[in-house]
Amino acid sequence: MAEGGAGPGGGESLLFLTDEQLRKGIEAMFFAYRGFTADPDRILESKEYGRAHHRALHFIHRSPGTTVNNLLSILGVTKQSLNRVLRTLIEDGLVESRVGRKDKRERHLFLTTTGDALERELSEAQRGRMRAAYRAAGPQAVAGFRQVLEAMMEPEMRRQYQTLRDAGL
Amino acid sequence: MAEGGAGPGGGESLLFLTDEQLRKGIEAMFFAYRGFTADPDRILESKEYGRAHHRALHFIHRSPGTTVNNLLSILGVTKQSLNRVLRTLIEDGLVESRVGRKDKRERHLFLTTTGDALERELSEAQRGRMRAAYRAAGPQAVAGFRQVLEAMMEPEMRRQYQTLRDAGL
DNA sequence: CTTGGAAAGTCAACAAGGCTGACATAAAAT
DNA sequence: ATTTTATGTCAGCCTTGTTGACTTTCCAAG
């Protein structure tokens, strides 16, 4: 690995914080993110959808009944941008939009059977790669991976993430 | 962290490979990548450049004198797409393109003083967040982080990454 | 009951950054 | 002499993001 070696005295070295190590981490994020999205992207390009549709399907699957506003804050895009994606998913019968009972202005989003099938196909492809990477690296590495990623998030997104992480699901 | 706990007998548990754990990892990648690009993006939006320009500047900085073809294979885009970005960077005097001595068909790319200044501004912002995340997570977590990311890359990209990782720089 | 404002949706216009296809040039390789 | 490689460029298209303006619906406070 070329790490280790420490300095003169050894012990609690801060060599992992050098600009050089940070640059390697930056490139690792860049290349890994490409791998991360590669499999779903391949599936999507055959169908008439893109990565934006995948993201919507993922988060509706994760939180069935979520409102459009919730989705907006998680995805961090404008409502116009999300609406374009959502409209095609609803038209194509992958997502169902139900008017809220308590607040009828809100729309609650659910996956249909068809939508669930596509979501599963996409997420199984993505999990496949993830599983291989996890298995290759081992549980301790995975724990470190999650720690660093969590520390890298914007505080607001970290809250979104942790809410789900800490809940039953 | 809610992990641990192991199964009945304990020891070498595979609980870190459940679909649930994998889904958390997937979302961690999604949210963390947003944080990862947030700071450079903020700087770029004030200037007239985008993330594509940042990527070009980064890899030219990393490998001064690299050819257009090298850059294409690293970035994984078409030459038309890269050329658009490269043309503006050259016109604006951030990148210099020199005809190859040995093979005059090739163009070797270098950052000018101005280009280097922007690259440094962008990468310092990005390293700042990375450094904070590394420091918060600690050296062991960082090692795991790198291991998982590396295992997640497409094999071809892993080679690109390791070439640089293993070299002096 | 009226009105203010929030939630949602829609239309139009635009930009960045991907893509394909076609074509041009120069130089290396065969 | 011919073919292949490296690069650049023009034109056109797509996805996914943006802003701004406007409407409809409907809750809630005055």
**Confidence at residue A162, expressed as pLDDT on a 0 to 100 scale:** 81
ipTM: 0.88
CATH number of this structure's domain A19-137: 1.10.10.10
**Confidence at residue A16, expressed as pLDDT on a 0 to 100 scale:** 87
Q: Per-residue pLDDT for B95 more than 90?
A: yes
Provide the CA A31 to C1' C30 distance, Å, integer. 37
Tell me which residue of B137, B140, B69 sits closest to A1, measured CA to CA: B140
pLDDT digit string (tens) for A12-28? 688 889 999 999 999 99
Residues in chain A, total: 169
pLDDT digit string (tens) for B42-80? 999 888 899 999 999 999 999 999 999 999 999 999 999
**Is B139–A13 a contact, with Cβ atoms under 8 angstroms apart?**
yes
Q: Domain ranges in chain B? A: 22-129, 138-169
Chain B positions touching A151 (Cβ under 8 A) are 132-134, 136-137
In chain A, DSSP assigns E strands to 66-67, 95-99, 107-111
User: In what side-by-side order are the strands of the sheet with A95-99?
Assistant: A66-67, A107-111, A95-99
Q: Which two tokens stand for residue B129?
A: 């967040």
Looking at CA atoms only, how far is residue A104 from chain B in angstroms?
A: 30
pLDDT digit string (tens) for B42-51? 999 888 899 9
Chain A positions touching B130 (Cβ under 8 A) are 22, 25-26, 152
CATH number of this structure's domain B22-129: 1.10.10.10
Q: Range with the lowest mean pLDDT among A135-149, B10-24, B144-158?
A: B10-24
The Cα B46–Cα B101 span in angstroms is: 38
Within 19-48 of A, beta carbons closer than 8 Å to B belong to 19-36, 38
In B25-106, DSSP assigns E strands to 66-67, 95-99
The Cα B141–Cα B131 span in angstroms is: 13
